[in-house]
Structures are given as C-alpha cells and as structure tokens.
Amino acid sequence: MQIELIKEGVLNDDILKIADEGKVFKGNYEAILEYYTFANSQGNHKNIRRFRSIENAIKFIKKNY
C-alpha cells in the first residue's frame, strides 16, 4: 500500500491510499481518499471516499484540490 499526502492541514492531513499492483482493498477499491472538512475551530469532520480506479481518484483530486 502506498500513502500519498494530498494536503497538509493544521489539525489533520488529507491522504490518498493506493493499493499495490495487482491487489485491491476490501470492496474491490483501488484507492481510498481520507479528507477533512471544517467543522469548528477545535475539530474537523473526517470524510472517506473510495475509488474503483486510480484514474477516477486523480480526476476527483484535480477537481477539488
């Protein structure tokens, strides 16, 4: 599994987890993005987005980051 840092935040970091070549995560996903949205000054909400292909993950990252 490869872990890529997408955005570094004050409280939390947004990361992308990519499965190794020829392997997938549970549920047949190739990539998982964990990102945080602002809740208040003391914390954020954690969101998890799963992708069946790495190309879709790259499209989402380019659109939102």
**Which token pair is 21?**
């070549």
What is the CB neighbour count within 10 angstroms for residue 21? Answer: 6
| Mean pLDDT to the nearest integer, 22-43 | 94
For residues 15 and 2, is the Cβ–Cβ distance under 8 A? no
Residue 42, classed as helix, strand or coil, is: coil
Task: Note the Cα 7 to chain centre separation in Å.
Answer: 10
Distance separating alpha carbons of residues 44 and 1, to the nearest angstrom:
26
42 pLDDT band, cuts 50/70/90, is confident
pTM attached to this predicted model:
0.89
> Which residues face 40 on adjacent strands?
43
